[in-house]
A and B are shown apart, each in its own frame.
Chain A
Amino acid sequence: MNDNKYKVVRNEMIAPGTYLMTISGDTSEIKGPGQFINIKLDGLYLRRPMSICSYGDDEMTMIYKIVGKGTKAMSRMQPGEEFDALSPLGNGFMIDEIPECAFLIGGGAGAMPIYTLAQILRDAGKKPHVIIGFNKEKEIFFADEFKELGVDLTIATMDGSSGVKGTVVDALLEVRETAMDKNGLKTENRQIYACVCGPEPMMKAVAEHSDAGQYDLGARMACGFGACMGCTVITKNGPKRVCKDGPIFRQEEIIW
């Protein structure tokens, strides 16, 4: 973890209320998707944690929805503006544990760590199946980016205006057999392994239908680096800090 300075390169609305921000600065310590940074914004006392969507040699991208003062302030930032952020924070997905055919499932703005995850798995020769959920067609973003990755993609919309009508769980139930057929999984190996980012009720619903997986338990936090015990979650292995021991937790340790 370092306190790095970042410069806004791009900050634009990509769907109603949802923004994509690209910043330039040090990314050398980022280990993988699921990690986050904690941003110091003018006029706000506590830093604001923000998932890293994708990253390169000296740039990273975040996707966020305006939900409060912090994200509102971020949405007003112009290219060239700078801020400090503690970076990188958290554990990130445990990529070695992800099997050949995993379902990468995301909902809303918080979904996007699975973009880089899909990319890494694809590059490792694995065949992830991505399922992303939105309320309606107008709110869909990043579908083209996923298609460009060349991974299988299923979109779910609550109103059925695009893709499968319903939640990401409805989509999972609809596509799981064909996805596993396609990957030649034998009957005895037909376990659903899910890597999930999104709102808690969505993750909980996915967990009810998957055999194993990893979940991004975002939480309201203060320090972001394990000192304050503000974001504690009680797991089957006792109290854990979402910011430091997570935010990615294995399905078997989560108590929903």
Chain B
Amino acid sequence: MVDTSVELCGIRLDNPVIPASGTFGFGREFAELYDLNLLGSIAFKGTTADPRNGNETPRIADCSAGMLNSVGLQNPGLEAVAAEEIPALAEKCGKPLIANISGFSVEEFVRCAEVMDRCEPVGFLEVNVSCPNVHAGGRNFGTSAEETALITRAVKKVTKKPVFIKLTPNVTDIASIAKACEQAGADGISLINTLLGMRIDIKRRKAVLANRMGGYSGPGIFPVAVRCVAQVHDAVRIPIMGMGGISSAEDVIEMIMAGATAVQIGAANLVDPWACKKIIEELPILMERLGINSLSEICGIA
């Protein structure tokens, strides 16, 4: 019998498969389809201090091998998430949850981190410094090593829970930013967020998305994600949650071989709501076939 469990910052997960933030809401829709306790964990919908209605629609564009989204961090706000969504999710999933937080200022990140630190079901914080959809004064923390480190230090000060920084691939050298996070005290790195993309409706001569640009996700970005994870794995010692276009158990193994300890499944959930369950069921069978006894033995092996 193979062992699918992994250890992430001293917390054991039964398996490495985690639905990615923004593709799983707060689990409610999926809990009607399967037992959420099958999952390694859940990274729930990105939360900001105040409620956000998100961007104008259309927010979705289809692409070959993936999709663009410009949802724009629509969420009910920190207070409602902590008071209602997290307790409701914890009833359906007893695993240590991943709180994905976002902000438009260092203070907002800190406020979110403080509240999430007090939420008992939250096992990890995942700090989104990279959402390309939101333009507040043009500031995008995630493209600057200094700014990312600044947020990392500020968040680390207010929580004892492991802090993962979720990085954008829309940078020249992702490894240097990961290093800056590690030096600033991050407990782990999540990568990659979506690639900034754009589609144009050639009949209407207009961008498909109301926001013009949006994040590209899905199988098309998988090779980019594998490359980024490998580069970051070479550069840091802290664990990595790998994501970006993972759609099968084979992809999970590949991502772990690139250097991920755990993986997140994003766009695949939207096309096949049972995607995570199927991947978790296939994983031990595939491990057996590949002669893998435990996932730690292949982490970063390639």
Contact = CB atoms under 8 A, between A and B. Distances in A.
B296 interface: no
A52 to B, nearest CB: 19
Contacts of A222: 60, 67, 69, 270
B24 A227 contact: yes
Interface string B192-230: 000000000000000000000000001100000000000
A228 B22 contact: yes
B91 interface: no
A35 interface: no
Given A225-B273, A228-B270, A45 B67 contact: yes
A46 B268 CA distance: 10
B225 to A, nearest CB: 16
Contact of A45 (B54, B71, B218): B218
Interface stretch (B27-35, B167-175, B178-186): B27-35
Nearest to B60: A230
Size bracket, chain B contacts: 35 or more
B81 to A, nearest CB: 14
Contact of A223 (B64, B219, B273): B273
Interface stretch (A178-186, A232-240, A246-254): A232-240
Interface in B31-68: 32-33, 45, 53-54, 57-67
B60 A46 contact: yes
Given A46-B270, A222-B270, A231 B29 contact: no
Given A40-B271, A86-B273, A229 B218 contact: no
Contacts of B60: 46, 220-222, 228, 230-231
B274 A3 contact: yes
B297 interface: no
B294 interface: no
B25 interface: yes
B interface secondary structure, majority: loop
B270 to A, nearest CB: 4
Given A86-B273, A228-B270, A44 B62 contact: yes
A219 B62 CA distance: 14
A117 to B, nearest CB: 26
B231 interface: no
B65 A1 contact: no
A226 interface: yes
Nearest to B45: A229
Nearest to B29: A226
A17 to B, nearest CB: 14
A86 B71 CA distance: 22
A47 interface: yes
Contact of B29 (A46, A225, A238, A239): A225
Contacts of A230: 57, 59-60, 69, 71
Interface in A1-27: 1, 3
Contacts of A127: none
Most buried by A among B54, B57, B218: B57
Interface of A: 1, 3, 40, 44-47, 69-70, 86, 219-223, 225-234, 238-239, 244
Given A231-B60, A232-B54, 16 more contacts: A1-B273, A3-B274, A44-B62, A45-B267, A45-B271, A46-B271, A70-B62, A220-B59, A227-B269, A228-B60, A228-B71, A231-B59, A232-B53, A232-B74, A239-B54, A239-B74
20 contacts: A1-B33, A45-B66, A45-B67, A46-B67, A219-B58, A220-B59, A220-B60, A222-B60, A222-B270, A226-B25, A226-B28, A226-B29, A227-B24, A227-B25, A228-B22, A228-B60, A229-B22, A232-B53, A232-B59, A238-B53
Interface of B: 22-25, 28-30, 32-33, 45, 53-54, 57-67, 69, 71, 74, 218-219, 267, 269-274
